[in-house]
Amino acid sequence: MKTVYDFTVKDRLGNDVSLYEYKGKVLLIVNTATGCGFTPHYEPLEKMYKELKESGFEILDFPCNQFANQAPGSDEEIHNFCTLKFGAEFPQFSKIDVNGETADPLFAYLASEKPFAGFGKGLKNVALKKFSDANNKKYGEKAYIKWNFTKFLVNREGKVIARFEPTTDMKDVRAAVIKNLEE
């Protein structure tokens, strides 16, 4: 059975990194952007990382520019922004595509394990769905990720156990991470 440990990705310097290096840890894998309305998610993500990393928790950050060009910088510019503005210390990888023919295989896998189930209810969610649908029309069936800051929770065995859309309250994400760390 395939797990996230079967994938190799590029770090922000272009080096290959086997996700097997994270075996036995609880992972939160996130596609991010520096100019998005959800960019402030970096703050609770970093807080959670600092508080829980000693318990075997890692956040893997993958910048993506496929959503309204909200991550236009180089890997180094994005890294500098995240560390200076939010103090981000969790691993940041090279900018990738998460949708279409050029989608990173890791994100195609994550989305196949936990497909999109909607943004939820409320005006903000309806508005995001409208933007998402327009943006992702060009990717058709390969529109795996609907917007920036989609988060996938992976257990210590490398199995994808939850997907959180950017509209999910970060308190709920944190609660799921803690629950998984305690199992």
| C-beta separation of 18 from 8 below 8 A | yes
What's the pLDDT at 28? 98
Number of domains within the chain: 1
Question: Which secondary-structure segment (H or E) carries 154?
Answer: strand 151-154
Which residues pair with residue 31 across a beta bridge?
62
Question: Which secondary-structure segment (H or E) carries 22?
Answer: none
What's the pLDDT at 105? 97
Of all residues in the chain, what percent carry a pLDDT higher than 70?
99
Q: Which CATH number covers residue 17?
A: 3.40.30.10
Q: Which carries the bigger pLDDT value, residue 180 or residue 84?
A: 180
Range 79-106 average pLDDT = 88
pLDDT digits (tens, 9 = 90+) for 111-166: 999 999 888 877 777 778 887 888 888 888 888 999 999 999 999 999 999 999 99
What's the pLDDT at 98? 96
Residues with a catalytic annotation lie at 36
pLDDT at position 80 over 80: no
Distance set, CA 169 to CA 62, 71, 75 (Å): 20, 22, 27
What's the pLDDT at 137? 84
Range 21-31 average pLDDT = 97
How many CB atoms lie under 10 A from the CB of residue 78? Answer: 22
pLDDT at position 173 over 80: yes
- Residue 139 corresponds to which tokens in the numbers above? 């990717």
pLDDT digits (tens, 9 = 90+) for 128-138: 888 788 888 88
- Structural domain containing residue 14: 4-182
What's the pLDDT at 128? 80
| C-beta separation of 55 from 181 below 8 A | yes
Length of the chain: 183
Question: Phi/psi at 12 (nearest 5 deg)?
Answer: -70, -15
What's the pLDDT at 107? 97
Mean pLDDT (the chain, rounded): 91
- Measured at the CA of 66, the angle between CA 172 and CA 107, to 5 degrees, comes to 55
pLDDT at position 87 over 80: no
